């Protein structure tokens, strides 16, 4: 039998700005919305007109998510506050 091993310490988290990721996702949903608008009649003919609504929801949620990520990134990566009064 092998002796029990000590658990490894958790790795430190990597700081990642989320705003660009959310913005890219929103941009992709916007492209999907434009494409579905271009082919709306074909989509309606095949019973897939709901794709337009799906893409529109993706854009709306993406805008909201991007706004939230902007706030979170500002809180996390905002200006560093120092206690040294001479640095002001």
pLDDT tens digits for 27-54? 999 999 999 999 999 999 999 999 999 9
Q: What percent of the chain has pLDDT over 70?
A: 85
Q: Give Dmax (Cα) for the chain.
A: 70
Tokens of 54: 């799906």
Q: What is the pTM of this model?
A: 0.74
Q: What is the DSSP letter of 58?
A: H
Alpha carbon distances (Å) from 54 to 33, 45, 49, 51, 58: 8, 17, 9, 5, 6
Tell me what the pLDDT averaged over the chain comes to: 89
Burial 22-58 (b: 16+ CB within 10 A, else e): bbebbeebbebbeebeeeeeebeeeeeeebbeebbeb
């Amino acid at each position: 039998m092998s002796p029990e091993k000590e658990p490894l310490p958790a790795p430190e988290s990597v700081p990642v700005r989320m705003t660009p990721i959310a913005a890219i996702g929103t941009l992709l949903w916007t492209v999907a919305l434009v494409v579905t608008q271009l082919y709306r009649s074909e989509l309606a003919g095949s019973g897939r007109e709901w794709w337009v609504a799906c893409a529109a929801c993706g854009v709306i949620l993406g805008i909201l998510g991007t706004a939230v990520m902007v706030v979170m990134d500002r809180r996390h990566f905002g200006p560093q506050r120092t206690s040294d009064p001479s640095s002001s």
